[in-house]
Amino acid sequence: MISDLPGEVNMVQSARVRVLLVIVLGVTATLTAVWILQKRFGYQAGNPQTQPQVAIPQPQASPASATPNTALSVPAAPSPSSFAADPPPEDASPTPQPQTPILTLDPGYAARLNLVIPVKGVKREQLQDTFKDARSEGRVHDAIDILAPAGTPVIATAEGEIVKLFESERGGITIYQLSKDKKLIFYYAHLQRYAEGLTVGKTVWQGETIAYVGDTGNAGTGNYHLHFSIMLTNNPKRYWEGTNINPYPLLRK
């Protein structure tokens, strides 16, 4: 009987060789793929934190959008408290700024004002026109001085809102009042003190006591009087600017 053992051994060996070749080819293909990924995308096998980086194109700003469109910007509306926030002038009677248009008082409007003398007990014939009097540093008075004893009540010349309570070097203790129609600013200076309960934003009635005559600021010790001025304004929020008008004829009428 002839044995087939050698042939069977050869067949087994051939099968093993084929399996080894498949394994070698598989490993080679895998290593080749990994190498390609490393070269092209920077991918590292076994490191999940390193991922291929793909560049995403960013939109480029056009020349028109590179610069803000300032032509369409709208300034914020002033808040109701802007009266107290704005810096008042140091002058006892603020003078018009260059950018402030010169306003004129309509005669019909002036006739309807019906202002009262802002110092209690003072008569019309006691008033003096000091509107154009010269002051230090080449200034013009732009106001009238109403003489009265210290502590005499200062009253509101018309109905309106208190827009600023301020103490300045020249004016001393002062009040800025806006008229009811928001066309005029009344300025009271050299006050001794404010009336109790007077606050910014309060509406005062004509003839209501708002302060008391004093000599604060640059009035001079013992020179008790009220420095009183009136300004026409086209911007009620800028209470320190406007066109000064002479109070004398308005109080003497």
pLDDT tens digits, one per residue of 83-138: 444 455 555 445 444 445 566 777 778 778 899 999 999 999 999 998 887 766 66
Residues 25 and 115 in one domain: no
Residue 227: inside a domain: yes
Residues 19 and 105 in one domain: no
Residue 115: inside a domain: yes
Residue 238 sits in which domain range? 88-252
Residues 92 and 37 in one domain: no
Residue 212 sits in a domain whose CATH number is 2.70.70.10
Residues 211 and 160 in one domain: yes
Residue 232: inside a domain: yes
What is the pLDDT, as a whole number, of residue 152? 97
pTM, entire model? 0.61
Residues 39 and 92 in one domain: no
Residues 40 and 141 in one domain: no
Chunk the chain into consecutive blocks of 10 residues (it has 253) and report each block's average pLDDT, rounded to whole numbers. Answer: 53 71 78 70 48 47 42 38 46 46 72 92 93 72 92 97 94 95 94 97 97 94 94 89 90 86
Residue 62: inside a domain: no
Residues 108 and 221 in one domain: yes
Alpha-carbon span 245 to 222, nearest angstrom: 28
Residues 96 and 41 in one domain: no
**Exposure of 10 by Cβ count < 10 A (0-12 exposed, 13-18 middle, 19+ buried)?**
exposed
Residues 233 and 133 in one domain: yes
Residue 190: inside a domain: yes
What is the pLDDT, as a whole number, of residue 52? 46
What is the pLDDT, as a whole number, of residue 173? 96
Residue 168: inside a domain: yes
Domains: count for the chain: 2
Residues 108 and 27 in one domain: no
Residue 74: inside a domain: no
Mean of pLDDT over the chain:
76
Q: What does DSSP assign to residue 229? A: E
Residue 242: inside a domain: yes
What is the pLDDT, as a whole number, of residue 23? 82
Q: What does DSSP assign to residue 179? A: E
What is the pLDDT, as a whole number, of residue 40? 63
Residues 114 and 36 in one domain: no
